Every structure is written in structure tokens, then in C-alpha cells.
């Protein structure tokens, strides 16, 4: 009977967080299980979800959203050795696609690197810089600008173009970019994209722009306010945004070895930042 109860609770949570990983589901259920004096470890919970087909599967990647083959200035990476102790010091930006029956639309996101909270976003019908600039303006209007704030992104044309770079400069925000097209240098932003798609249904195909827009609003609200995050001591990003000091990380660094003559740049570690 306990397994039936646990499964019922898990299904109820999944109705709100359809693609959330089992570890986070179990964390959100922990208080309720404790109240009912039910012990359910991680392995048992994983097996229970697996037997009932509730473990998540991921989809393949879609169209490329970064075009770094342009004549605009590409700024250096300023954040390699940066240590963060509070929100408002580093924003990371990226663009991802959303499918609709009418074609692709594009979601620009700005995330606070300390708290992992999404502080600005815009869903736009094309890949011009307007969508990215609207997301930046939202972040500034909501968060303000702290002294020494850095904006970090890939070297895509939307971020390098004069309109975007000049807006950052006029707002006295320092500009930082990945170098040599290395996606690991913008890993936080890339990971947030994946979470929204694979856990909050943004990988679905929507009827039109307006349907997609409502789904984006819902997904970002749930991500910011209801989803525990491994990189911020399993707090919600909105909670971590109010904190200061070092936040405990609940992920392990995975080691990779360079293959000789492979042409693949060497990477010492890859960080799982869910």
C-alpha cells in the first residue's frame, strides 16, 4: 500500500513537472513521506518510477541558433576564474528554439549565474537581435544593475551586433564572451535551456506563437519557484537569489581524457549543473 501511495504522490507532482528528474521529485516528496512515516530511498524510488514508465526520455537536438561567422567584434572571456558570492554579479545569456506548427520561434534567456534564476526572457519570431535585447531590458528593469555586473554569452551575431553591445556599454555592464566557440564556456545557459525543454515541455510542438508563449511563461515560473537545483544547495533559484556566500553543489565533476589526433579540444572536467 505504501508503494501505491508514493506512486500516487509522484504522479501528482509529475502533472506539474512532467520531465523533472527522479531525484528532485523525491526531494519534493520527502516532507510528505516523512509525515506518513514512509521510508523510500533513491534506488527504490527510481525502480518504482521505472516499472510504471515514469522515467523521462530526451529528444534529439534541433536547429542551430548561434551564428558566430560575422564581422562584429568578439569580446574576451572575463569569467574563467570568477568566484561568485551573491546574485547580480554575472548574467549568462543564450537563445534556443521552440517548435510550433507554423515554424520555429526563438527564446532568449538571461540567467543569474549565482542563483540560476532566470531574470530576463523573450520569445521572438525570428533570430534577429530584438528578442535578445528585449530579454536584456527585462532583466535590467526587474533586477537593476549592480556595480561590476558582467554579461556573458556565446559569440552569436545577436550578442555581438552593435545594437546589443552598445546597449550593454550604455548600461555600464561589462561584456564577456566564449572563446573559440567553446560551449563549455557558457555551460550554465546551455543547461537552463535543456531543463526548460526536457522537464517543462518546451520541446513539444505548439499550435502557434501565442500557445508557445503561455507555455514559456508557465515553464519559467515553475523553474524559478518550484524546482530544486543541484548547483544551489537544492534550493529553488528564487530562494537562492536572496542568499549570499558560497552555495553547496550537489553534482560531481566528470573527468574526460583527450583523444590523440582527434581534433577535439581537451576538457579537464564537465560539470553537471542541474
More confident residue, 57 or 37: 37
Ranges 81-85, 87-91, 162-166, 179-183: which has the least confidence: 179-183
- Checking if the pLDDT of 250 tops 70, the result is yes
The dihedral over CA atoms of 13, 57, 202, 135, expressed in degrees to the nearest 10, equals 100
Distances (CA, A) of 236 to 11, 27, 69, 175, 232: 21, 12, 37, 27, 8
Task: Report how far residue 64's alpha carbon sits from residue 209's, in angstroms, rounded to the nearest whole number.
Answer: 19
Which of 122, 137, 169 shows the shortest CA–CA distance to 150? 169
Helix (H, G, I), strand (E, B) or coil at 272: coil
- Distance of alpha carbon 13 from alpha carbon 26, whole angstroms: 10
pTM: 0.71
- Whether the CA torsion 140, 195, 241, 114 is positive or negative: it is negative
Asked if the model's pLDDT at residue 1 lies above 50, the reply is: yes
Residue 246 has pLDDT above 50, yes or no: yes
CA atoms within 13 A on the CB side of 172: 5
Tell me which CATH code domain 90-242 carries.
Answer: 3.30.420.10
Q: Judge whether 200 and 17 are in contact, CB under 8 Å.
A: yes
Residue (of 57, 59, 25, 19) closest to 42 by Cα position: 25
Place of cell 527564446: 107
pLDDT at 62: 52
pLDDT in tens, 52-62: 666 666 555 55
All structural domains of the chain with their residue ranges: 1-52, 90-242
Mean pLDDT of the chain: 82
Query: pLDDT for 73-90, tens place per residue?
Result: 889 999 988 999 999 999
Amino acid at each position: 500500500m505504501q508503494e501505491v501511495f508514493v506512486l500516487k504522490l509522484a504522479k501528482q507532482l509529475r502533472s506539474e513537472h512532467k520531465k523533472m528528474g527522479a531525484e528532485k521529485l523525491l526531494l519534493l516528496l520527502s516532507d510528505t513521506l516523512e509525515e506518513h512515516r514512509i521510508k523510500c530511498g533513491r534506488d527504490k524510488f527510481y525502480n518504482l518510477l521505472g516499472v510504471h514508465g515514469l522515467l523521462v526520455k530526451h529528444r534529439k537536438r534541433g536547429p542551430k541558433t548561434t551564428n558566430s561567422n560575422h564581422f562584429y567584434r568578439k569580446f574576451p572571456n572575463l569569467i574563467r576564474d570568477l568566484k561568485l558570492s551573491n546574485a547580480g554579479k554575472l548574467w549568462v545569456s543564450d537563445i534556443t528554439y521552440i517548435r510550433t506548427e507554423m515554424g520555429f520561434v526563438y527564446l532568449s534567456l538571461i540567467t543569474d549565474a549565482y542563483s540560476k534564476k532566470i531574470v530576463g526572457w523573450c520569445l521572438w519570431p525570428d533570430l534577429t537581435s530584438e528578442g535578445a535585447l528585449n530579454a536584456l531590458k527585462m532583466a535590467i528593469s526587474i533586477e537593476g544593475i549592480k556595480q561590476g555586473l558582467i554579461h556573458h554569452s556565446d559569440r552569436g551575431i545577436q550578442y555581438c551586433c552593435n545594437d546589443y553591445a552598445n546597449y550593454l556599454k550604455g548600461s555600464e555592464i561589462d561584456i564577456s564572451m566564449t572563446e573559440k566557440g567553446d560551449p563549455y564556456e557558457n555551460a550554465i545557459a546551455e543547461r537552463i535551456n535543456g531543463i526548460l525543454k526536457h522537464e517543462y515541455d518546451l520541446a513539444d510542438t505548439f499550435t502557434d506563437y501565442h500557445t508557445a508563449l503561455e507555455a514559456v511563461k508557465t515553464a519559467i515560473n515553475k523553474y524559478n519557484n518550484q524546482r530544486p537545483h543541484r548547483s544551489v544547495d537544492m534550493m529553488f533559484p528564487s530562494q537562492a537569489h536572496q542568499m549570499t556566500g558560497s552555495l553547496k553543489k550537489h553534482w560531481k565533476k566528470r573527468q574526460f581524457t583527450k583523444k590523440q589526433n582527434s581534433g577535439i579540444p581537451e576538457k579537464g572536467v564537465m560539470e553537471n549543473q542541474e
